[in-house]
């Protein structure tokens, strides 16, 4: 696990000092070693976290005649099988690392080599003979890659703060991207917060040659055809076998490893599989809160006891807000998933003991674990009603009083009713939006609406929805999340939180074999009424007790609603009503004041909206008001 950076210039030599600065800015991703390669118009840099072939696997890594060089962020889980095959074909290896298989595969297959790689990765490969730079990301987008192309100069890095070390890259804000952020809490690829910078999409290969850029998608998860299930027990055995094999692949490391454990289904399944394949106690790590509604520690503790793990815990308190400057710096652009806070603390705790941690990410998107799937299937029944009737119900729903509890019957009824008059794609977009279209229209000033221009936010969900391969509404929702929410939010959150602490996170449930099997399972076996993850729960009954499998999903929520009404009330109000925030001219002051007042009074829960505005303002202060530079976390913690 590492951080990579580099530049390609057509007319002039790459500045070695720029490559050094870019590496320094992302040193947290790989503090064990730095490697650089500069030759004529190309420069590559790598910050390495040593996990595989600790002694000899430092990068960059070359082929036999040094005409091909690569830097890799990530892990190739099938590197041993690939290495054996390549050696038989005549290739000579100088290391035992997973990175080296890439240069030899490229010699044989060109950019199609990515189709043979089984892992999480973002890499850059320079072919001196063809004078071509190749970049690629893994299938689901576990590893990030940002790039900028201007005036024939191509620059890339694993994180924005690395890319921004290049003073030639303009810092102009992309307000259409920020509009997407206020909608979904993250900025979806290919957009970034800066007009001059873009993100390489998951499952994509990019080649740069003579100033020309070409992109091609090499993989897509498909939901057809479906398995013919005649024996439920046989299907359950196949699910368990595929998960266990994915876990075994991710237990290969030359450094200590453990697992995040929430006590929920997904992380518990991973720990169960690890325990089945480990001769020593698995190290497990959990985070909790004083608020019982958000505290899963008792559940995690029970699973840890069942599998006799070496268990570690940490309690997150309101004072955790002190970590915000560090979070803002590491994400590099506005990011409003509040579970980034416990993720950062969990990564810090875990890194004290291990270098690699497995987690349960991806289970909800493959096996239908979110309540919104059930809610949308319920709303689907109304699609046959006359539009005028659905519009009347939607109008009436607006008059339902707001509730301070988002999951209350009143809140659910209000959301469901307001969505009935929408198209299926619009309805789903509303369920995953922080500020929907009407709310953004009320939030933005006329000047900011003009600055944004045409909103790109509706197309984020609509494009994924329309291109979905499945015929079932359930499959369409799952595929939409795999294309949008999973790579744009969840994977970004975990990658940044863990790499900020030089910790490698591996996600067995995001193994392509697991995802492809889940996609092929008939949707009615995943979601049945309001019962979610049906097939996964039934399969895991062979490993886990029913009290783990049957308890309600808690998620990785944070008690920010209570914090904002109590310990953090003054802080939030001071930041969002500060003259600096008001003078940006983005938001209607009355709307923001009313949002805060209603939340403070307990008449509604606006915590997620407030959090999105808060993180946006803190990002502007750090990245726009002050030009960022590589600084240590100890300095940042004093801000």
Pairing type for strands 68-76 and 204-209 reads unpaired
User: What angle separates helix 297-306 from helix 265-276, to the nearest 10 degrees?
Assistant: 20
- E strand or H helix that includes residue 504: strand 504-506
Q: What is the Cα–Cα distance from 523 to 146, expressed in whole angstroms?
A: 35
Q: What is the Cα–Cα distance from 247 to 441, expressed in whole angstroms?
A: 46
Contact between 33 and 186 under an 8 Å Cβ cutoff? The reply is no
Q: Is 519 exposed, middle or buried (0-12, 13-18, 19+ CB in 10 A)?
A: buried
Q: Where are the alpha helices (DSSP H) in 362-521?
A: 363-367, 371-380, 387-398, 409-419, 424-431, 437-443, 446-452, 457-466, 473-483, 485, 491-499, 512-520
Query: Which of 12, 451, 479 has its CA nearest to residue 220?
Result: 479
Q: What is the Cα–Cα distance from 394 to 542, expressed in whole angstroms?
A: 45
Contact between 169 and 155 under an 8 Å Cβ cutoff? The reply is yes
Question: Cβ of 290: how many Cβ atoms within 10 Å?
Answer: 12
Q: Tell me the CA distances in angstroms from 291 to 313, 315, 340, one per residue in order.
A: 15, 10, 18
Query: Which of 16, 7, 4, 25 has its CA nearest to residue 627?
Result: 25
Through-space distance between the first and last CA atoms of the chain, rounded to whole angstroms = 29
Geometric angle at alpha carbon 52, from 48 and 55, rounded to 5°: 75
Contact between 553 and 263 under an 8 Å Cβ cutoff? The reply is no
Contact between 537 and 66 under an 8 Å Cβ cutoff? The reply is no
- Catalogue the active-site residues: 2
As beta bridge partners, residue 346 has none
- Which structure tokens are listed for 192? 């970034």
- E strand or H helix that includes residue 62: strand 61-62
At residue 117, φ and ψ (nearest 5 deg) are -85, 130
Rounded to 10 degrees, the C-alpha dihedral 95/101/102/104 comes to 100
DSSP 87-147: HHTT---S---STHHHHHHHHHHGGGGGGG--EEEEEEEEETTTTEEEEEE-SS--S--EE
Contact between 398 and 384 under an 8 Å Cβ cutoff? The reply is no
């Amino acid at each position: 696990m590492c951080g990579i950076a580099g530049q390609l210039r057509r007319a002039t030599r790459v500045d070695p000092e720029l490559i050094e600065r870019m590496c320094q800015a992302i040193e947290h991703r790989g503090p064990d070693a730095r490697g650089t390669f500069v030759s004529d118009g190309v420069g590559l840099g790598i910050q390495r976290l040593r996990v595989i072939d600790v002694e000899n696997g430092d990068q960059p890594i070359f082929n036999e005649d040094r005409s091909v060089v690569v830097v890799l962020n990530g892990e190739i889980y099938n590197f041993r099988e690939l290495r054996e095959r390549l050696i038989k074909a005549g290739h000579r290896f100088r290391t035992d690392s997973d990175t080296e298989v890439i240069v030899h595969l490229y010699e044989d297959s060109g950019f199609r080599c990515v189709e043979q790689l089984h892992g999480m990765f973002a890499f850059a490969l320079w072919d001196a003979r063809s004078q071509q730079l190749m970049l690629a990301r893994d299938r689901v987008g576990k590893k990030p890659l940002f790039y900028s192309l201007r005036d024939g100069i191509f620059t890339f890095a694993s994180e924005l703060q690395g890319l921004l070390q290049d003073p030639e890259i303009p810092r102009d804000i992309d307000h259409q991207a920020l509009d997407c952020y206020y909608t979904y809490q993250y900025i979806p690829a290919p957009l970034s917060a800066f007009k001059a910078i873009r993100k390489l999409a998951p499952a994509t290969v990019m080649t740069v040659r003579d100033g020309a850029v070409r992109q091609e998608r090499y993989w897509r998860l498909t939901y057809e055809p479906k398995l013919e299930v005649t024996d439920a027990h046989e299907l359950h055995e196949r699910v368990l076998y595929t998960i266990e094999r994915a876990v075994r692949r991710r237990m290969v490391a030359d450094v200590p490893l453990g697992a995040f454990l929430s006590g929920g289904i997904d992380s518990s399944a991973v720990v169960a599989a690890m325990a089945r394949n480990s001769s020593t106690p698995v190290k497990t790590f959990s985070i909790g809160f004083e608020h019982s509604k958000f505290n899963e520690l008792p559940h995690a503790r029970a699973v840890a006891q069942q599998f006799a793990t070496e268990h570690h815990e940490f309690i997150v308190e309101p004072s955790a807000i002190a970590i915000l400057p560090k979070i803002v710096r590491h994400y590099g652009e506005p990011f409003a998933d509040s579970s980034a806070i416990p993720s950062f603390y969990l990564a810090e705790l875990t890194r004290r003991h291990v270098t690699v941690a497995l987690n349960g990410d991806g289970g909800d998107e493959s096996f239908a674990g979110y309540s919104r799937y059930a809610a949308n299937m319920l709303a689907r029944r109304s699609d046959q009603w006359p539009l005028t009737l659905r519009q009347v119900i939607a109008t009436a729903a607006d008059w339902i009083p707001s509730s301070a509890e988002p999951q209350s019957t009143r809140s659910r009824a209000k959301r469901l009713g307001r969505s009935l008059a929408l198209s299926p794609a619009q309805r789903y977009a509303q369920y995953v939006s922080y500020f929907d279209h009407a709310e953004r229209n009320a939030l933005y000033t006329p000047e900011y609406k003009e600055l944004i221009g045409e909103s790109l936010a509706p197309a984020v969900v609509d494009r994924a929805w329309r291109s979905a391969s499945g015929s079932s509404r359930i499959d369409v929702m799952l595929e939409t999340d795999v294309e949008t929410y999973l790579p744009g939010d969840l994977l970004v959150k975990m990658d940044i939180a863990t790499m900020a602490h030089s910790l490698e996170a591996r996600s067995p449930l995001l193994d392509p074999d697991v995802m492809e099997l889940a996609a092929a399972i008939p949707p009615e076996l995943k979601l049945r009424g309001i019962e979610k993850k049906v097939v996964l729960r039934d399969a895991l009954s062979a490993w886990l007790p029913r009290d783990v499998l049957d308890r309600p999903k808690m998620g990785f929520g944070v008690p920010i609603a209570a914090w904002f009404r109590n310990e953090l009330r003054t802080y939030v109000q001071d930041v969002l009503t500060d003259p600096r925030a008001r003078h940006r001219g983005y938001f209607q002051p009355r709307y923001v004041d009313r949002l805060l007042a209603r939340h403070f009074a307990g008449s509604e829960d606006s915590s997620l909206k407030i959090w999105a505005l808060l993180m946006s303002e803190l990002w502007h202060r750090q990245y726009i008001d002050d030009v960022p530079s590589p600084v240590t976390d100890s300095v940042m913690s004093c801000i």
